[in-house]
Amino acid sequence: MAGLAEVSAALVARIAQIVYPNGTGQLPIAGQAIKIYGGWPTPDQLAKDLKAGKQHISVFPRTVKYLQSAKSKWRTITPAVHTISLTVVGQTVTVGGTVSTPQNASLVVDGRAYPYAVQAGDTLASIATALAALVAADQAATSVGTVVTIPGAHAISQRVGGRAIRTRDVRRQDQEFLISVWANCFETRDPLGDAVDAGLARIDRLDLPDGSYANLRSRPLSNPWDDDGQKEGVYRRNLSCWVEFPTTEVQEQYEVTQGQVDLDLPGGVTKTTII
């Protein structure tokens, strides 16, 4: 799911790409090591790092605006995968493909459904055996190897269902983040702050781990410099970003391999049809 922690981490990652254009194994654009993180710095660690020439960039959430709570439609992140197959020829069904879970193998024989949940230790032959045993509860059915034979069947159809990973938005909000550049002098703070400011101004989208995305807008502050700590060797540049993002939920959802329609007829009779 996407939440405040995931958005903060995505913002930290984009800032790292700005200040380390050649990768973290190379020097950053400021020429000094930089620590980038979500949250607020601890005073003792900040003072120790700045004294050693290591700059900080902190990403801290501030004001949030509630936008709307309407839930979106489900959308697929990872589609269902079918690795097994069922092939019907006359009164026989051949199980093929490769066994993997989770999957459901289902036969509809003469209007009755026979679903089987594939198990981790299954083989193609054991799936055929299981299907034959299910059908045999109602009519003659046997299996040899991967082939199921139902000699008395009039109509056979096959279905294979898998599992998909799906998500939907359950709320949207607009979150402000205070991005602070901390350095031991203004000579290093100013160029680093300008680079981060310009880099974020070019970005309008953050991709989130659950497949959703956030809209990013950088905003100038009226007084971005904070030199109150210069006696202690702490120089700060503040930047502001607003990130509009959804709170999402993620579910495993399984494909339906058979359904049932009940039709009420005169005389209190109910006709059931498998679809």
Smallest Cα–Cα separation from 150: which of 161, 141, 159?
A: 141
Helix (H), strand (E) at residue 177 = strand 156-183
For residue 1, the model assigns a pLDDT of 65
For residue 234, the model assigns a pLDDT of 86
For 98-129, letters b (16+ CB in 10 Å) and e give ebeeebbbbbbbeeebbebebeeebebebbbb
For residue 28, the model assigns a pLDDT of 85
For residue 138, the model assigns a pLDDT of 96
Amino acid residing at 263: L
Measured in Å, how far apart are the chain's first and last C-alpha atoms? 34
- Assess contact for 111 and 274: CB atoms under 8 A: yes
> Helix, strand, coil shares of the chain as percentages rounded to 5?
20, 45, 35
Q: The whole model's pTM is what?
A: 0.70
For residue 211, the model assigns a pLDDT of 79
For residue 231, the model assigns a pLDDT of 61
What does pLDDT average to in each consecutive run of 10 residues of the chain (275 residues)? 88 95 83 92 94 95 86 91 97 98 96 95 98 97 98 96 93 94 90 94 91 89 71 85 91 89 82 76
For residue 228, the model assigns a pLDDT of 67
Domains along the sequence of the chain with CATH: 4-69+170-248 (3.30.2000), 75-165+253-274 (no CATH)
For residue 65, the model assigns a pLDDT of 92
* DSSP structure string for 228-260: TTGGGT-EEEEEEEEEEEEEEEEEEEEPP---E
